[in-house]
Structure 1
């Protein structure tokens, strides 16, 4: 089917999962998992993934777009955690419907200025723009420190000053978690929902248990990002396969079960919020 726009998925008011794409197998797994669950999803390519592919966005974007268009599930294409203005500007030429522009490492005033300019540029080209306020982090314990969580009043001012379409907030999840042990601050999520007039985004959702995800969605989270969980499933299958047969050299032999494991992970996350 035709590509779905991120803005259209978010306009339904329902929570939407976004899954990171690093390889073609990731994209195929997301499409297969979404079809199995009968749910829409967002395929997102990060700046780190582009860097892994030699800094060239076009091949991975083209492959991911082709997978999305061939799928029976409604799938959108999103460019994630973009710090480079050059990469942001490449989004419009490669069928992306949305971009997450990440200026969170900058001092606050510079973050606001850069993000407002990114939003202005994106909106002139019909792109939906997400940004981040609060340090979500990727080190153990980083995002679980109360002092680094997103303040509702600051979030409201930030959205007003930047005109972004969605806001990723720090509420207790963390990137790169391989165990689902995160505890979210649901009262803070509710306060952010009441303060901010745009959809809230939860990064680092691989480490969040199903019940915590359901509560977070009930409290106001609308875009749920998952990346590490797919990589964990993929790597576990490859490692197990090669441990069983160390003579294998054909990557199709171990990438097939790895892709299936990722698709099963996608379907499990999608089904978790409907139970």
Structure 2
């Protein structure tokens, strides 16, 4: 199956009032596990690499091409996305590479600068099938302090979308990046208010710190794209630890990485199915 556009998957999720899983790729095995989950559940998924992932691999092209190839070969509906690009040039490169969507993250800058640079990325993507996501209201925890008190203002969100022309918007509603405990309380009334104020799908970052129950309620309140990274990484790493503890003689990395990949895939499938069951 050919790669599916992010816009198509988002529009379909909004129409069905369902959540759409967007799971971060760290290396080849996580991409394989996520796609396997989509195929097993027969549900769509977004594969995404972040600027941090690109930095880890030392180059954009190898991990990007691998992700695109895995998506291209899958029997599921798979879109590819660049997550948290703070450098607009990286977003331009992903657009040129045929990504279905890119996120320019200017949330750490002033409102005016965020609008200006986000608009540049949107203009660069004009004429392509690449959707641009942005963030308004800084979600903490990503190389910065956790600050669940930050909130996105609905009126400002509506103005931001009008001024930039973005196709989706990540909002700050009480979650925080890189949380290893699922204890965040998201502001459901605020989600509903922002959803009523803007005409584009809303994105939740920091979903790893949010419980299943809160995620379901958040989707019902108006969230569509649900980003998950740390939680899946923890499942992957935890299974590898268990495997090595029980098999201390193993030296072939394929054996314990395969165990981690299988566990990650099972949890990714569970989340995809959870998001699909959330319709009103």
Q: How would you bin the TM-score normalised by the shorter chain?
A: over 0.9
Match of 1:229 among 231, 238, 245: 231
Report matched runs for 1:61-72 at 5 Å: 61-72=64-75
Contact 2:51 2:83 in 1 (8 A): yes
Match of 1:160 in 2: 162
Match of 1:100 in 2: 103
Structure 1 residue 123: deviation in Å?
A: 2.0
Match of 2:136 among 127, 133, 137: 133
Distance in 1 (alpha carbons) for counterparts of 2:19 and 2:258: 30
Contact 1:143 1:171 in 2 (8 A): no
Match of 1:174 in 2: 176
- The SS at the match of 1:173 is coil
For structure 1, list consecutive stretches of 5 or more residues without a partner in the other structure: none
**Partner deviation per Cα, 1:84-125 (whole Å, 9 max, x = no partner):** 122111113323110000111111211111111111111233
Match of 2:24 in 1: 20
Contact 2:147 2:176 in 1 (8 A): yes
Match of 2:3 in 1: 3
Structure 1 residue 141: deviation in Å?
A: 8.1
Match of 1:205 in 2: 207
Match of 2:198 among 196, 200, 208: 196
Give the number of aligned pairs. Answer: 272
- The SS at the match of 2:126 is helix
Match of 1:150 in 2: 152
Q: Does residue 86 of structure 2 align to residue 86 of structure 1?
A: no
Contact 1:83 1:103 in 2 (8 A): yes
Distance in 1 (alpha carbons) for counterparts of 2:106 and 2:3: 28
For structure 2, list consecutive stretches of 5 or more residues without a partner in the other structure: none
Divergent runs of 4+, >6 A: none
Distance in 1 (alpha carbons) for counterparts of 2:181 and 2:126: 37
- The SS at the match of 1:238 is helix
Distance in 2 (alpha carbons) for counterparts of 1:83 and 1:123: 20
Contact 2:88 2:117 in 1 (8 A): no
Contact 1:43 1:75 in 2 (8 A): yes
**Partner deviation per Cα, 1:125-169 (whole Å, 9 max, x = no partner):** 331000000011117983421xx1101011111111111111100
Distance in 2 (alpha carbons) for counterparts of 1:92 and 1:216: 30
Contact 2:236 2:263 in 1 (8 A): yes
Q: Does residue 114 of structure 2 align to residue 111 of structure 1?
A: yes
Distance in 1 (alpha carbons) for counterparts of 2:75 and 2:82: 22
| TM-score when normalising by structure 1 | 0.95
| TM-score when normalising by structure 2 | 0.93
Distance in 2 (alpha carbons) for counterparts of 1:226 and 1:94: 23
Contact 1:173 1:183 in 2 (8 A): yes
Contact 1:229 1:265 in 2 (8 A): no
Match of 1:75 among 74, 78, 84: 78
Contact 2:21 2:275 in 1 (8 A): no
Contact 2:20 2:275 in 1 (8 A): no
- The SS at the match of 2:175 is coil
